[in-house]
Amino acid sequence: MTGPASPRITDDSVLVEVRGRTGYLTLNRPKALNALSHIMARRIDDALTAWETDPRIDTVVISGAGERGLCAGGDIRSIHDDARSGGMASADFWYDEYRLNARIARYPKPYVALMDGIVMGGGVGISAHGSVRVATERSRIAMPETGIGFVPDVGGTYLLSRAPGELGTHLALTGAPIGAADARLCGLVDCFVPSQRLPDLVAALSYTPANEAVGRYAAEPPPGELADQRDWIDECYAADTVEEIVRRLLDTGVAAAKEAAGTIHTKSPTAVKVTLAALRSARELDSLERALEQEYRIACAALSSPDLVEGIRAQVIDKDRDPHWSPRTLAEVTDADVARFFRPLGRHDLSFAEEIGAQS
């Protein structure tokens, strides 16, 4: 008996396979930590299109090839080169990527994301919006964008703004990675499955309903750290400005808070201020789509910001870990500097108006 046809692809950066009643997507760039490219985003979207109305497909599963992680984020070397040249390839990529993020969140069939290993940036976008999100003891989940002069995107401001208290603000400004228990506390994952049980889970998903299969292999994760840090996190990060947040962190007398303040001072001053403004705004937005529209404006503005090129240079190109931010200090970043990132793009804006209208 012939199974459902898999979507046709022309390269192997995303492996597409059907087993039983489940479609499997495997990001297949393990040497690059499965960094997400534009063509990969399109391949995933093509597969979701083909499977959405196929009655023979009940479930979609996404995972990453290799042992290191699902996806370390977007291909930032390409973004660096594009920003330096004044191109628009990155904006085109984000346009399609953000629409994919929204599609995953609204997908009508179970979308199981195996968030094993490193899951950062764009990797969060193709997993944390899914309906069944599985972490392991190896999971390291983060939105580290402020370290490269960028701002959490792929719906990250929406997700983090809805974490309990100010946990999302802490994670967004510092870029700190978290494990399974803390990710579950913050609403980024649903359950924990020990990594040695993943092969059995993957096999079971081909013939067992998603929630039943995951429930069969789920366990309680190792303890996290954030629950015990809520007092100082909620107090410090509730401040209205980054400067006040840092001051409160330093005044707590808590070693972890002082470390967080030091971490924030290593990030792009412009990026952390824009990030705080984006998070506060996202809290008031009524849908993921609205947050993605805002993030698209911010991302496009970042292309012309010196900090994005400099941040990627320092972290990925030259790897000297010594970025020279411009402006160099929080005090030098003005309200007008921040406001520039939120300006409408006119006919170039990302808009989900038709989709949101159809859902209402």
Could you confirm whether 153 is annotated as catalytic? yes
Distances (CA, A) of 97 to 11, 113, 199: 18, 16, 28
Of the residues 117, 121, 122, 179, only one is catalytic, namely 122
* Of 110, 115, 113, residue with least CA distance to 211: 110
Give 338: exposed, middle or buried? Use CB within 10 Å, 0-12, 13-18, 19+. middle
Q: Which of 23, 64, 74, 155 is catalytic?
A: 74
Q: Which one of the listed residues 58, 75, 97, 153 is annotated catalytic?
A: 153
- Secondary structure in 3-state letters for the chain: CCCCCCCCCCCCCEEEEEECCEEEEEECCHHHCCCECHHHHHHHHHHHHHHHCCCCCCEEEEEECCCCEEECCECHHHHHHHHHHCCCHHHHHHHHHHHHHHHHHHCCCCEEEEECEEEECHHHHCCCCCCEEEECCCCEEECCHHHHCCCCCCCHHHHHHCCCCCHHHHHHHHCCCECHHHHHHCCCCCEECCHHHHHHHHHHCCCCCHHHHHHHHCECCCCCCHHHHHHHHHHHCCCCCHHHHHHHHHHCCCHHHHHHHHHHHHCCHHHHHHHHHHHHHHHHCCCHHHHHHHHHHHHHHHCCCHHHHHHHHHHHHCCCCCCCCCCCCHHHCCHHHHHHHHCCCHHHCCCCHHHHHHHC
- Region at 98 (left for phi over 0; alpha for psi -120 to 50; beta for the rest): alpha
Pick the catalytic residue from 116, 145, 182, 307: 145
- Is 74 catalytic? The answer is yes
Known active-site residue 97 = no
Q: Give me the phi and psi of 111, to 5 degrees please.
A: -120, 105
The amino acid present at 83, given as its one-letter code, is A
Q: 185 φ, ψ to 5°?
A: -60, -40
Active site residues: 74, 122, 145, 153
